[in-house]
């Protein structure tokens, strides 16, 4: 699986990090406090984090970190800080269906 790291930015400017599966163009749901923590989890199974997904959370900006030095928002989702989980859409299509796609987000 081709993977890169990504970040979610909360409304207060704080960030958490995730792994992005480039094969299916989707975020993995587990969030990490640091990029190093994300690095350490490259091959980790995240099944338990898919089970934590659902309603609630706060709206976040989802940024895929391809290493180009630019923090461009790909789409918006929802995250639960206490669960350290993306509980909303994990890809652009899901964000669009939920009205959280970056280009149509208000």
Please determine, for residue 5, whether its predicted confidence score (pLDDT) is greater than 50. Answer: yes
Domains of the chain: total = 1
pTM for the model stands at 0.85
Please determine, for residue 103, whether its predicted confidence score (pLDDT) is greater than 60. Answer: no
What's the pLDDT band for 104 if we cut at 50, 70, 90?
Answer: very low
Please determine, for residue 38, whether its predicted confidence score (pLDDT) is greater than 80. Answer: yes
**What number is the average pLDDT over the span 84-106?**
80
Which residue segment(s) compose the domain that 95 sits in?
3-104
List the beta strands (DSSP E) in 1-106. 3-9, 15-21, 26-27, 58-65, 75-80, 85-86
Backbone angles phi, psi at 57, to 5 degrees: 85, 170
């Amino acid at each position: 699986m081709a993977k890169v790291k990504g970040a979610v930015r909360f409304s207060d400017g704080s960030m958490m990090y995730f792994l992005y599966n480039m094969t299916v163009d989707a975020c993995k749901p587990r969030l990490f406090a640091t990029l190093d923590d994300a690095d350490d989890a490259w091959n980790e199974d995240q099944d338990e984090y898919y089970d934590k997904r659902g309603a609630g959370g706060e709206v976040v900006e989802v940024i895929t970190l391809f290493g180009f030095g630019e923090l461009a928002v790909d789409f918006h989702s929802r995250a639960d800080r206490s669960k350290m989980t993306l509980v909303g859409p994990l890809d652009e299509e899901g964000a669009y269906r939920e009205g959280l796609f970056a280009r149509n987000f208000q």
